[in-house]
Amino acid sequence: MLVVMQAHATEEQVRAVCERIESLGYRAHAMPGAQRTAIGITGNRSEVEAGTLEEMPGVQELIRVTKPYKLVSRDVKDENTVVRFAGADATIGGRNLAIIAGPCAIESLDQAMAVAERVSRAGAQFFRGGAYKPRTSPYSFQGLGEEGLRIMAEVRDKYGLKIITEAIDHESLELVEAYADVIQIGARNMQNFSLLKRAGRSKKPVLVKRGMSATLEEFLMAAEYVMSEGNYNVILCERGVRTFADHTRNTLDLSIIPAVQRLSHLPIVVDPSHGTGKRNKVTPLSRAAVAVGADGLIVEVHNDPDKALSDGMQSLYPDQFDELMAQVRQIAPVVGRTVVGVGEHRQDSAIAV
């Protein structure tokens, strides 16, 4: 159920409706929009007993939401969600493309700094890197743990890049939320519902990667889990799904971008690195992702990919990332987007082609 408030409804009226919803034993999620505020109701096992809600001051109408997802849906909020960061220019979901780049895993301070220097110079606003790695083999490099998080905090201090890193369980989530700017939930955990709920209780934005065999609806439901706990800063990430194709590691499903955008107000970025698994396909698929309307890219870059402790095959050399950015800067304006770098002012960064 969705309560649509009148355009001129006051904050007190919105608050009163929320309180009434909560007193009925449900959870209220007020979603302010440009035109009006809608209040999503969750926590109901069956039809919401709407009682006198419809008669309350400021209420325009009550709408039954028939889709399984509510808070991620454009029914609740029509305008695109823009994830913002206090004291920074960087956004995810705005007109400017969010460029996230960095190594698969943080291996050392020197490695992280070397990569950060290059991706920052090339125009990334976000630095990625795993401190906790969900590896197929228990004998593969598992990440540096908290030491990796400390290194990323140093990267942020030095280059002003916002940090995105994965939490693989409740324990690592505690630490990741203390150090990082965005909590990543990996493909393997997209249906780890208790982890999604824990991320939903965090104050930090959450990037949810699509599970390897997740349908569009399952993907949106994962985001719904996070939002249902009150965290509305969710970013979706397409990273490829398993198919019979064996020329790539995964099949990057770019058709999900317009499909998500039709149903949801949440931003969606594309990971062409895990999506293809092959360095030579990362730049072409990045171009395609921007052209199809993605809100950003998350790309693996390594200063010495041949010696990388994980995912070297799909990691770009820094020079290749420069070239990727040059190409993306040309495509972005065609689809009404801009690309800026750290320290650049957005106003004067409208890219000339």
Alpha carbons 333 and 114: distance in angstroms, whole number: 30
Q: How far apart (Å, rounded) are the C-alpha atoms in residues 48 and 313? A: 52
Count of residues touching ligand PEP (by CB under 6 A): 11
The CB-side HSE value for 324 (13 A sphere, CA atoms) comes to 36
Give the nearest distance from C-beta 105 to ligand PEP in angstroms.
Answer: 7
Amino acid letter for position 253: D
Phi/psi for 268 (5° steps) reads -135, 130
Q: Quick one: which segment of 110-118, 119-127, 181-189, 227-235 binds ligand PEP (CB under 6 A)?
A: 181-189
Beta bridge partners of 37: 32
CA 281/CA 275 separation, integer angstroms? 9
Q: Do residues 115 and 158 lie in contact, with contact meaning Cβ atoms separated by under 8 Å?
A: no
Q: How far is the CB of 261 from ligand PEP (least distance, A)?
A: 20
Q: State yes or no: residue 104 binds Mn ion (CB under 5 A).
A: yes
DSSP output for 19-86: HHHHHTT-EEEEEE-SS-EEEEEE--SSS---TTGGGSTTEEEEE---SS--TTBTTT--SPP-EE-T
To the nearest 5 percent, what fractions of the chain are helix, strand and coil? 35, 20, 45
Q: Between 307 and 326, how does the x/- string for binding to Mn ion read (CB under 5 A)?
A: ----x---------------
Q: How far apart (Å, rounded) are the C-alpha atoms in residues 28 and 214?
A: 28
Q: Is 281 in the site for ligand PEP (CB under 6 A)?
A: no
In this structure, how many other beta carbons lie within 10 angstroms of the beta carbon of residue 279?
Answer: 19
Contacts (CB under 6 A) with ligand PEP, residues 68-107? 104
Q: How far is the CB of 249 from ligand PEP (least distance, A)?
A: 9
Q: Binders of Mn ion: how many residues, by CB under 5 A?
A: 2
Which residue in 40, 130, 267, 305 binds ligand PEP (CB under 6 A)?
A: 130
Output 104 or 221, the one with its CB closest to Mn ion: 104
Q: Smallest gap, in angstroms, from Cβ of residue 42 to ligand PEP?
A: 27
186 binds, among ligand PEP, Mn ion, none (CB under 5 to 8 A by kind): ligand PEP
Tokens of 63: 């709408």
Q: Which does 224 bind (CB under 5 to 8 A by kind): Mn ion, ligand PEP, none?
A: none
Which one, 77 or 210, has the nearer CB to Mn ion? 210
| Residue 14 engages Mn ion in binding (rule: CB under 5 A) | no
- The contact pattern for ligand PEP, residues 211-250, with x = CB under 6 A and - = no contact, is ----------------------------x-----------
**Cβ closer to ligand PEP: 134 or 230?**
134
Encoding tokens for residue 276? 């293809």
- Stretch in the footprint of ligand PEP (CB under 6 A) among 154-162, 184-192, 262-270, 286-294: 184-192
Contact residues: Mn ion, CB under 5 A? 104, 311
Which residues of this chain interact with ligand PEP, rule CB under 6 A?
A: 104, 130, 134, 166, 186-188, 209, 239, 271, 274
